Amino acid sequence: MTNEYRAGGLQIAKAIDGPGVPLATNPFVFAVSCAFNGDPAAFTTTVTLTPTGDGSPLTSNVIEPLPVGAVCTVTETDSGGADATPPPVTVTIPDVDSGGVAQVVIAGFVNPFSAAQIQVTKVLAGDAAGAHTAAVFTLAVTCQYDLNGTRVTVYSGSVSVTGGQTVPVVEAAGDPVLLPPGSHCFAVETDNGGANSSTVDHNSYDTAVIAETGDQLGTLTITAVNTFTVPPVPPRPYPPVPFPDAGGGSGTLSWTGLPVGRWLLIGFALLALGAGLVSATRRRRTG
């Protein structure tokens, strides 16, 4: 009597999708468990796939030999930072073909990766804003991510911008910075260009703009408003008023706030009062 043992194989394929493909740099880990002939865990193993960074599909080595008819469940236990973890995939090891060649079943997984870019907008306000359109303003931009309760920084750098301009935050090579979902981005203005006042809409982790998941590249915007005002013009002092001095020359009378005409009227009134007093005194003496 001859016992025939037919076997096949299992392979894991991983596809990476979405605007955050360049962010997919962490390994993917899978647990494989195959049930056969009444044993729910007749075969178990762990498989790790490491991304290449360019979004190319990943495939594992063929897991073999596995008995034909074995039912294998592949579970992704580490999604490498993807937006979501795909559900487990269950496959059955196929029989050999008509020529007796072992067949391989492929368990496929797709991991979506979202990403966002960030830009800084400068707005000038106030009645003197037009005189500062060429001024350069500098902001320190920080993006942080909550990793299991610990804030880690995924980007930190300075951005220079002029009035009315919107500039993307870029890496040293000039490519836009890509941020994973959940990133909190905020900025502090380190050079306000001499503005009377300045505000930044997202200026701390608690008020940060947050990257969301999505199948399109997201855009985060931080806006800084600088206000320039014209200083008020102080009142112009009046010049001193010239008057003749006792020696026949001319002197000056410091301005006290009353118009010249009022001073003349006051002078005439005082002279008239004095003349009246003198006249009344003479009448009393002659009477």
Decide which of 76 and 286 is more confident: 76
Beta bridge partners of 146: 151
Q: Are strands 116-125 and 150-162 parallel, antiparallel or unpaired?
A: unpaired
Residue pLDDT, tens place only, 80-114: 989 989 999 999 999 999 888 999 999 999 999 99
Decide which of 74 and 231 is more confident: 74
Count of residues in the chain: 287
How confident is the model at residue 79, as a pLDDT?
94
How confident is the model at residue 125, as a pLDDT?
94
For residue 9 the two structure tokens come to 């194989």
- Give the C-alpha separation, 183 to 225, whole Å: 23
Q: How far is CA 118 from the centre of its chain?
A: 6
Residue pLDDT, tens place only, 145-160: 988 888 899 999 999 9
Task: Give Cβ neighbours of residue 102 (< 8 Å, ≥ 6 apart).
Answer: 6, 7, 8, 9, 64, 65, 96
CB 55 within 8 A of CB 38: no
For the chain, what is the mean pLDDT? 86
Residue pLDDT, tens place only, 252-272: 555 455 555 565 566 666 666
How confident is the model at residue 1, as a pLDDT?
45
Judged by average pLDDT, the poorest of 104-108, 115-119, 124-128, 241-245 is 241-245
- Closest to 33 in 3D by CA, of 65, 63, 92, 74: 74
How confident is the model at residue 249, as a pLDDT?
53
Judged by average pLDDT, the poorest of 239-243, 254-258, 277-281 is 254-258
Beta bridge partners of 135: none
Decide which of 240 and 10 is more confident: 10
Decide which of 286 and 120 is more confident: 120
Average pLDDT over residues 226-233: 86
* Cis peptide bond N-terminal to 87, omega within 30: no
- Give the C-alpha separation, 43 to 72, whole Å: 9
How confident is the model at residue 149, as a pLDDT?
87
How confident is the model at residue 275, as a pLDDT?
62
Per-residue CA distances from 157 to 85, 104, 150, 188, 274 (Å): 32, 50, 20, 11, 83
Task: Give Cβ neighbours of residue 118 (< 8 Å, ≥ 6 apart).
Answer: 141, 143, 155, 168, 169, 177, 179, 185, 209, 219, 220, 221, 222
Q: Give the model's confidence band at 237: pLDDT under 50 very low, under 70 low, under 90 confident, else very high.
A: confident
How confident is the model at residue 225, as a pLDDT?
96
How confident is the model at residue 161, as a pLDDT?
95
Q: Give the model's confidence band at 72: pLDDT under 50 very low, under 70 low, under 90 confident, else very high.
A: very high
- Give the C-alpha separation, 187 to 143, whole Å: 9
Q: E strand or H helix at 57, and its extent? A: none
User: Burial code of 29-43, b = ≥16 C-beta within 10 A, e = fewer?
Assistant: ebebbbbbeeeeebb
pLDDT above 70 as % of the chain: 81
Average pLDDT over residues 21-44: 94
